[in-house]
Amino acid sequence: MSLRDLVYFPIIFNLVSMITVGALYAFSPEHFVNQELLNTVLYLEVFIIEWSIGYIVIRKLGINGVKRLIIPKKKLRWLPSILVCVSLNLLFTIYMVLALVFGRIQPWGDLNFFQIFFFIVLTPLTAGFVEELIWRGYFVEKLLAMNKSEWKAVVYSSVSFAFIHGVILVDKLIVTFLFGIIAGLYYVKERNLPVLIVSHVILDVIAFSLSVYRPV
């Protein structure tokens, strides 16, 4: 791995998203304005990209390499683990509520059962596993192996992580960057990826639920 991979992955995410939106607008403009359909198409595309990139990384690492990343390297310490879970979920929940209140993120309309299952179950499980495996486990470990300091490893991976979530909403970029910093610092100190995976899954379930059920 080189530093280019930190750049290539966000470029792939954003390029495919722009192509998807452009194609939907060009070939089906009547559906482009349908917020629910647009979100479903975009997140389905993200779902496919994440598993595709995840597959590439897993192939590079091999099953044993993936196991080495996932199996905690230090004994679980409950206080830091609880603190990182609470911090990440609090950060993103507050952001989601404020973004919905001030119209930064549009609430979704009625979704069918399959869409709800996709957004609240499949998408969080995918993001929690794939994103933490790659941006906290794979990238951080590789950067450390390249003799980068812990701070540089965390910052570089956090910048890349932020940009896979899009470039349009600056506030979302900042929040996801902070997410990466908090998660990255926990990882380099505790070397416990499962805690971050579980925290990330919970966070996404809450975030998507807020959009779907519109409590504000």
Taking only the tens place, the pLDDT of each residue in 37-69 is 778 888 998 999 999 999 999 999 999 999 999
> Contact 92/128 with Cβ under 8 angstroms?
no
Rounded to whole angstroms, the maximal C-alpha distance in the chain is 54
Question: What pTM does this model have?
Answer: 0.92
pLDDT band with cut points at 50, 70 and 90 for residue 216:
very low
List the one residue out of 197, 47, 214 whose CA is nearest residue 122: 47
- For the chain, what is the domain count? 1
Highest mean pLDDT among 35-39, 105-109, 137-141: 137-141
Average pLDDT, the chain: 89
Domain that holds residue 71: 4-213
Q: How high is the pLDDT of residue 18?
A: 84
* Residue 202 and residue 118 in contact, taking contact as beta carbons nearer than 8 Å: no
